[in-house]
Chains A and B, each alone.
Chain A
Amino acid sequence: MAHDPSHDHGRHSDVPSDPALRAKSLESLLVEKGLVDPAALDAVVEYYERKVGPRNGARVVARAWSDPAYRARLLTDASAAIAEFGYTGRQGEHMVAVENTATVHNLVVCTLCSCYPLPVLGLPPVWYKSDAYRSRAVADPRGVLKEFGLALAAEVEVRVWDSTAEIRYLVLPERPPGTEGLSEPQLAELVTRDAMIGVAQVAPPGAPR
Chain B
Amino acid sequence: MNGIHDMGGMEGLGRIVHERDEPVFHAPWEGRVLAATVAAGWWKRWNTDAGRHERELLPPADYLRMSYYERWLAALEEILVRTGLVTRAEIETGRPAPGAARAEPPVQGGQAAAVLDRGSNYRRPLDAPPRFRPGSRVRVRNAHPSGHTRMPRYVRGHAGTVHMHHGGYVYPDTNAHFRGEDPRHLYSVRFEAAELWGESATGRGAVYVDLWEPYLEPA
Contact = CB atoms under 8 A, between A and B. Distances in A.
Interface in A67-121: 88-94, 96, 111-114, 119
A182 to B, nearest CB: 24
Contacts of A36: 36, 39-40, 105
Interface in A148-179: 148, 154-167
Contacts of A207: none
Contacts of A27: 32, 36
B9 A32 contact: no
| A interface bracket (residues with beta carbon within 8 Å of B) | 35 or more
B17 interface: yes
Interface in B148-180: 148, 150-152, 154, 164, 166, 169-170, 172, 176-178
B17 A89 contact: no
Interface residues of B, number: 112
A53 B204 CA distance: 32
B7 A131 contact: yes
Question: Which of B73, B112, B197 has the most chain A CB atoms closer than 10 A to its own CB?
Answer: B112
B109 A157 contact: no
Contacts of A162: 8, 152, 207-210
Given A24-B29, A130-B17, A166 B5 contact: no
B57 A9 contact: yes
Interface in A124-158: 125-127, 129-144, 147-148, 154-158
A135 B35 contact: no
Contact of A51 (B109, B113, B207): B113
A49 interface: yes
Interface of A: 1-3, 9-10, 12-13, 15, 19-20, 22-30, 32-49, 51, 53, 88-94, 96, 111-114, 119, 122-123, 125-127, 129-144, 147-148, 154-167
Given A25-B94, A131-B14, A161-B208, 19 more contacts: A1-B54, A20-B27, A20-B28, A23-B36, A26-B36, A32-B95, A33-B86, A35-B43, A37-B39, A44-B38, A88-B118, A94-B123, A112-B6, A135-B7, A139-B8, A142-B203, A157-B205, A159-B208, A163-B210
